[in-house]
Structure 1
Amino acid sequence: MKTLMLLFVALGFCVSASVSAGQSTIRMVNGMWYQEGAFVSQIWYSIEGVLTTTTPDVIDDELDLRGGFVIPPLVEGHNHNLQNPWLANNFAPNYERAGILYGLMLCGSHHNAAETRTILDQTSLDIQLAGACISSSDGHPLRMALQSFADEGVTAADIHDRDYIVIDSIADIDEKWPLINASSSEFIKIILVHSDREERRGNPSFHGINGLQAELVQPLTAELQRRGLRVVAHVESNADFTTAVNAGVDIIAHLPGYRWERGYDPEGYRLSDAIIEQAAAQGTAVITTVSVSEMVYPDNPEQLAQVQALQINNLSRLHAAGVAIIPGTDRFDVNVVHELKYLQNFGIFTPEQLLDSAVKIGPQRLFTDRKIGEFKEGYESNFVVLQENPLQNIAHLESVALVVKHGEVVFKAHQK
Structure 2
Amino acid sequence: MMPADRLNDTQTLRGRTSGPLWLAACALCILIPGPAEAAKRNIRASVSQKFEHDSNLLLRYKNPESTTGWITTPRVELSAETPTSALSAALKVSNAIYNRKGYGSTDAHVDVNGRTGSETWSAGMSVRYDHDTTRTSELNSGDIYIVSGIQHELVALAPSFTKILTERDQLSLDGSALFSTYEKKGGYQDYNQYSINLTWSRMLDQKNTATVGFQGSRYETTSGRSSSVDNVGMSLGWRHQFSETLSAGIQLGGYRKMPKSELYFWEEPVVNTWEMSFDASLFYKTQDVMVDAWARRYPNATASGYESDTTDFGMNSSYYVSERIRLGLDARYRLYETPTAGGTYSTNVWSLSPHVSYKLSRDFSVIGSYRYSEKSTDLIKDTATSNAFLLELTYRPSELSIDW
Which structure: greater helix fraction? 1
User: Which structure ranks higher in relative contact order (CA pairs < 8 Å, sequence separation ≥ 6)?
Assistant: 1
Task: Give TM-score, length-normalised by structure 2.
Answer: 0.29
Task: Give TM-score, length-normalised by structure 1.
Answer: 0.28
